[in-house]
Amino acid sequence: KVAHPRKIAFVCNPKMGGSGIIATELAMALAERGHHVWLLAEKHPYSWRQVSDTLYFLKLEVNDYPVFESAPHTLALAGALANLIEQENIEIVHAHYAVPYAAAAVMAKQICKQPFQLVTTLHGTDVVKLADDPAMHRVIDTVLNQSQRVICVSDDLAQQTHQRFDLPVYPEVIANFVPPGKMFAGSRQQAREQLQLDQQASYLIHASNFRKIKRIPDIIKSFALVRQQRDCQLILLGEGPEVTPCQDLAVQLGMADDIIWVGQEPNINRWFAAANVNLQLSDYESFGLTLIECMVQGVPTVANNVGGMPEVVAGTGRLVTVGDIEATAQNVLSLLDEQRQSPAEMHQRCIDKANSNYTSEAVCIAHEAVYHGLLVTE
Ligand code: GMT
């Protein structure tokens, strides 16, 4: 247990998605270390587990009056946060995403009768997508300047934030992580046995929320090229608007029988453990959580050379230019060859990097240093 237990309120997107997963896992890990952590959201996040009696969930009620076009979620969050801070003497509010979560916390500062420190973690799209809208840029700029600390999940995102906003302090970088409890503990062979997959075949894998930004057609087209040369299958995990068009594309390319559409799957790490190569061909990723979820299971990634992915993939996979289907297929094939020639080498390199760079303990210690710095100096 930590020497200085803190009282921290987390606000985040509770729906399925990297930022909500990271915020929830961090809240749980900090509570397990002895901090008192509240998570305020409209529903229990997908990955929520009651891991400690110092972890509390507070349901956000949003009154949906029929006179409004849409329910005033941000205002409700600001008011509920102000109440929570006063009732529980919260010292730190940790918001994940500038908009709307940190914006609600800034408003809570106006409402609340007692001070608190605001820590804002940026997860990418707030800076590189939303900030292109001049109105949103004003809001995000204000929110970042009113946050006592800004954290980015990669060096690239910190640079992008620095370029787009005039911040008093350069953002701190704290990477995504994989908590030990989420890993699949067995071997690739055991994972395949459980999932009734072929022990001899090669499996490519991709997991996401199937939005356009993920460029799923590029994954299917690259797979079709690899499939011409190798007995392999593509495992697709997740749901989203691109599923149906991509199923049509798979049929057009004659790949329908070689793709396993898993859909939403709580035990995702078992699938990662069963795979040979992960594909992440997004237009942009601030980090790419699945890269380390695969890495920790010993699985390398072929990723686009964009955003934070080069930092994460370095030494544990290959980088390609956005849209370069042939290069993607070539790199997958060469990784499969490498695995065949020396099965343990890349596998171990991935596990070693994940264990030295992306552990929950390191991430908790980094956050504790941020919180402690704020509470002892200000
Ligand atoms: O893009 C997603 O799949 C979801 C998105 C989110 O808002 O949850 O993920 C963002 O945050 C993750 C956690 O920090 C990062 O690993 C993802 O790279 C990031 N997505 C983008 O930057 C597009």
Spacing, Cα 160 to ligand 1 middle (Å): 15
pLDDT at site 64: 82
ipTM field: 0.98
Read off the pLDDT of each residue in 98-116 and give the average, rounded to a whole number: 96
Q: Is the pLDDT of residue 35 over 60?
A: yes
Cβ of 18 less than 6 Å from ligand 1: yes
* Integer Cα distance of 237 and 271 in angstroms: 9
DSSP 183: S
Ligand 1, atom 17, residue with closest C-alpha: 288
Spacing, Cα 254 to ligand 1 middle (Å): 31
CATH architecture of 181-357: 3-Layer(aba) Sandwich (3.40)
Say how far residue 282 (Cα) sits from the centre of its chain. 14
* Integer Cα distance of 37 and 108 in angstroms: 18
Q: Is the pLDDT of residue 129 over 70?
A: yes
C-alpha closest to that of 8 among 45, 48, 36: 36
Cβ of 287 less than 6 Å from ligand 1: yes
In the three-class reduction of DSSP (H, G, I as helix; E, B as strand; rest coil), residue 292 is classed as: helix
Spacing, Cα 153 to ligand 1 middle (Å): 10
In the three-class reduction of DSSP (H, G, I as helix; E, B as strand; rest coil), residue 310 is classed as: helix
Task: Give residue 60's pLDDT band: very low, low, confident or very high (50, 70, 90).
Answer: very high
pLDDT at site 63: 87
C-alpha closest to that of 277 among 326, 373, 346: 346
In the three-class reduction of DSSP (H, G, I as helix; E, B as strand; rest coil), residue 227 is classed as: helix
Spacing, Cα 286 to ligand 1 middle (Å): 6
Candidate of 101, 126, 154, 286 to mutate for ligand 1, largest count of ligand atoms within 8 Å of Cβ: 286
pLDDT at site 141: 97
Question: Which residue did the predictor score with more confidence, 97 or 68?
Answer: 97
What letter represents residue 199's amino acid? Q
Read off the pLDDT of each residue in 256-265 and give the average, rounded to a whole number: 96
Nearest ligand 1 atom to alpha carbon 125: 22
Cβ of 298 less than 6 Å from ligand 1: no
β-pair partners for 118: 93
Task: Give residue 228's pLDDT band: very low, low, confident or very high (50, 70, 90).
Answer: very high
pLDDT at site 65: 83
Q: Is the pLDDT of residue 67 over 80?
A: yes
Q: Which two tokens stand for residue 334?
A: 């060469």
pLDDT at site 41: 97
Q: Which two tokens stand for residue 195?
A: 């999932």
Cβ of 208 less than 6 Å from ligand 1: yes
User: Which tens digits make up the pLDDT trace of 2-11?
Assistant: 888 999 999 9
Q: C-alpha angle 186/194/209, rounded to 5°? A: 90
pLDDT at site 377: 58
Read off the pLDDT of each residue in 185-211 and give the average, rounded to a whole number: 97
Q: Is the dihedral of CA 131, 133, 139, 145 positive or negative?
A: positive
In the three-class reduction of DSSP (H, G, I as helix; E, B as strand; rest coil), residue 112 is classed as: coil
Mean pLDDT score across all residues of the chain: 96
Cβ of 289 less than 6 Å from ligand 1: yes
pLDDT at site 226: 98
What is the helix (H) or strand (E) element at residue 339, kind and residue range? helix 325-341
* Integer Cα distance of 32 and 19 in angstroms: 20
Candidate of 12, 19, 129, 282 to mutate for ligand 1, largest count of ligand atoms within 8 Å of Cβ: 19
> Which class for 147: exposed (0-12), middle (13-18), buried (19 or more C-beta within 10 A)?
buried
pLDDT at site 376: 85
β-pair partners for 237: 207, 263
- Listed by start position, the domains of the chain span 7-177+359-377, 181-357
C-alpha closest to that of 49 among 61, 64, 37: 37
What is the helix (H) or strand (E) element at residue 333, kind and residue range? helix 325-341
Q: Is the pLDDT of residue 48 over 50?
A: yes
* Integer Cα distance of 125 and 7 in angstroms: 28
Pair 308, 286: CB distance under 8 Å:
yes
Strands (E), 123-273: 149-152, 172-173, 202-207, 232-237, 259-263
Spacing, Cα 136 to ligand 1 middle (Å): 19
Ligand 1, atom 12, residue with closest C-alpha: 18
pLDDT at site 378: 47
What letter represents residue 346's amino acid? M
Read off the pLDDT of each residue in 50-77 and give the average, rounded to a whole number: 93
Q: Could you write out the three-class secondary structure of 145-163?
A: HHCCEEEECCHHHHHHHHH
Spacing, Cα 257 to ligand 1 middle (Å): 30
Pair 119, 92: CB distance under 8 Å:
yes
Q: Is the pLDDT of residue 275 over 70?
A: yes
Same fold, 7-177+359-377 and 181-357: yes
What CATH number was assigned to the domain covering residues 7-177+359-377?
3.40.50.2000
Pair 102, 95: CB distance under 8 Å:
yes
Cβ of 156 less than 6 Å from ligand 1: no
Spacing, Cα 347 to ligand 1 middle (Å): 25
